[in-house]
Amino acid sequence: MKEQIAAIQTEALARISAAEDERMLEDARVAVLGKKGSLTLAAAGIKDVPKEEKAAVGQLLNAARTEITAALESKQLALREIADRAALAGIDPTLPGRPILTGALHPLTQIRDEAIRILRRMGFALADGPEIEDEFHCFDALNTPADHPARNEKDTFYFDSGKLLRTHTSSVQIRTMESATPPVRIIAPGSAYRRDEIDATHLSVFNQLEGLYVAEDVSLPDLKGTLEYFLRELFGTSTEVRFRPHFFPFTEPSFEIDVKLQVKGQAPRWIEVAGCGMVDPAVFDSINKGRKDDAFNPDKVTGFAFGMGLDRLAMIRWGIKDIRLLIENDVRFLKQFA
């Protein structure tokens, strides 16, 4: 038995030493130490060894197993070191590393998030609604007459079902008033769709942010103060803001809002950034009719609404001259905002 153990040990160490890769080394381990390995079978035969020799044979078995295991571990480390050197062959570790490019939020996402943060600080809550709308929520409830150009198929994307892709997020204002009672103070950022020819200032899909505040004694000064504060927080405290009378079917009086843009090397000029106005009582009457109550009685509550294009705000904020750059995903353009 002692001679058998010595022979197994010698053969195992020779096979381990000759292993050229980890697969050959594993085969050697299994052949000696596996369930049916030569040393394992020898250990199982110790029951047949005379009692007076069992201690000595046991010590030989343990010594052989220890030496073979140590040889396996040493050989495995050596093989891995050889493999690592081979993997690095031809590589100059002294060369500088390649920079890892980091991503960033899209400029539209940045301007949207900042606008939301400003308005949230002023007490506005986020609201959402479907992008596929019906004519009632998109037009009728907003006091838009049947012959209004926006309702024409040349201006709006209609489905065969009669539904349409919303032309503004004002429909979210209507849905909010249908389900809530005054006071209501919400903002609705989201996509809007119009059949515009795509050029440097127009897209058929664009991003809007609209707001609505309805409560008792909401006044025009409240509207003016809210939007002036918002625009100065967004573009800088020295930003000049002006309101020009305009017409929207769902507000009365209505205004367009301009900010004075100062571009280096050019004379200051006014640029339109938003539309707004006091909610027309006809809108409240339409809401009450649908709700079958008097929650938005125009004799008891008033409100203001506003809307702006986030794409346009981004163009003004960063001096982007072509709106198409915002949808082309050109890394050369986008990396400026990283």
List residues bridging with 206 in a β-sheet. Answer: 192
Nearest CA to 153 out of 167, 143, 142 is that of 167
Collapsed DSSP state (helix, strand, coil) of residue 282 = helix
Yes or no: say if 222 and 214 are a contact pair by the CB < 8 Å rule.
Answer: no
CA distances for 70 relative to 10, 11, 76, 330, angstroms:
14, 15, 10, 58
The token pair at 4 is: 């058998």
Q: Do the annotations mark residue 272 as ligand-binding? A: no
Q: Which two tokens stand for residue 287?
A: 């809401």
Whether residue 184 contacts residue 303, with contact meaning beta carbons closer than 8 Å, is answered with yes
For 20-49, letters b (16+ CB in 10 Å) and e give: eeeeebeebbebbbeeebbbbebbeeeeee
In this structure, the number of other CB atoms found within 10 A of the CB of residue 62 comes to 11
Contact criterion met (CB below 8 Å) for 212 and 296 = no
| Triad 17, 20, 22: Cα angle to 5° | 95
Token pair for residue 145? 């007459």
Binding positions for Mg(2+) are: 252
Binding positions are: 252
